[in-house]
Amino acid sequence: MAIFNLSHSALSLDQLFKPSSPALVGTDIGSSSVKMVELVKLGKGQFRLLRYAIEPLPQAALVDGDIANLDMVITALRQCHKKLGSNIKNLALALPIANIITKTVIIPSTDSQNELDAEVERAAHEYIPFSIDEVNLDYQVLGSAQNHTDDIEIFIAATRRDHVDDLVAVVEGAGLKPIIIEIDQHVNRIAYELIEAALPNHGRNLNIAIAHIGASAMTVQFFRDGQLLNSLDNPIGGSHLSGLISKTYGLSYTEAEQAKRKRKGLPENYINDVLQPFMDGVLNELERSISYLYSNTSTQNIDRIILTGGCASLEGLGQYIAEHTGISTAIGNPFRDMKSSKYIDTQKLLIDAPLLITACGLALRGFDA
């Protein structure tokens, strides 16, 4: 399901949700780094990781998920693509869910495309707190509405035009081509299916908590049999740990990021004085999310916790969470059952894989039928 298909120079309602045909590089522009993933399809449901690259972003490049310094992001995109070593310039990208307004509405069924477009715009006027001229709007027909034989369900997605314009500007400024802009949670779900495939019975009949520890926040999503039960955002992320490292040891934020990721160059007291308090914070927010789920839904147990995001591979975090929650905990790796090319350092990939969830999901968008 493509949200904003940019295969043409301008968006129009009749282009919405169409899959893309060109080969795509999945590109995730996060708060602390740019990630790119290139996959090759081997057969039905089988893929090979051909290349990936990660390029740090200066702290001032993005603010609250929005691009604050176009030149910084352009430079990082260009450098990341150079590291990738690919001749594919078509990119699939994602916007954070916070920048997207979504709504499922029921409208009268019609065989006329023009009438359908008009009905969608009328519905959008009701639910979107901006002028239609200020947004990029897409929709998808979900099917006939239950108990309303003459109506259909429509999924509407809209974002302020400046969010899309800034993303397009930095991609084109780097000499690359934006093809699709998705919602990050949608493409993450695609990658999660690869992770769940490695679970017993492919995760069926299991209540699964996926804790995505991003740079600025941790999102905990609860799934059962592929259905989202609940989703909660928590105010802790990798930037908090980088900030602690920077403040404690007098490093620049960029140096702190590198030290955190490379796991070296930090004194012996790092684990007790910095890492342990951060892990305590992650555990507390995760337990709070689980308690909220138990209190507000009929779900009363979690069978598996899966950690994703940049901090998922922190040494000892998974074991620490498992010991304190009593729930089996694993590091999310969408490439676990995927073959890798000769370009891939498999040991490094084990550390980087949880950081590449969104980029992997976006790369998979290039193979939609």
Single-letter amino acid code for the residue at 110: T
CB atoms within 10 A of CB 262: 10
Q: How confident is the model at residue 22 (pLDDT cuts 50, 70, 90)?
A: low
Q: Determine contact, residues 86/51, Cβ cutoff 8 Å.
A: yes
Name the one residue in this structure whose structure tokens are 């839904």.
297
* pLDDT band at 18; cut points 50, 70, 90: very low
CATH fourth-level superfamily of 200-332: ATPase, nucleotide binding domain (3.30.420.40)
CATH 3.30.420.40 fits 1-198+334-369, yes or no: yes
Residues 44-75 have pLDDT tens digits of: 778 999 999 999 988 888 887 788 899 999 99
CATH 3.30.420.40 domain extents, the chain: 1-198+334-369, 200-332
CA distance linking residue 27 with residue 54, whole number of Å: 10
Question: pTM for this structure?
Answer: 0.84
**Model pLDDT, residue 356:** 95
- CA torsion through residues 329, 330, 334, 338, sign: negative
For residue 86, give the nearest of 333, 365, 363, 368 by alpha carbon. Answer: 363
pLDDT in tens, 266-304: 888 998 999 999 999 999 999 999 999 999 989 899 999
Give the CA count within 13 Å in the CB-facing half-sphere of 124.
27
Reply yes or no on whether the pLDDT at 99 is more than 90: no
Radius of gyration, CA atoms only, the chain: 21
Which residues have CB under 8 Å from 130's CB, separation 6+? Answer: 158, 160
* Alpha carbons 280 and 267: distance in angstroms, whole number: 20
Structure confidence at residue 16 (pLDDT): 36
Question: 237-260 pLDDT, tens per residue?
Answer: 988 999 999 999 998 888 888 888
Which sign, positive or negative, has the C-alpha torsion 46, 48, 54, 60? Answer: negative
Residue 11 has a pLDDT of 35
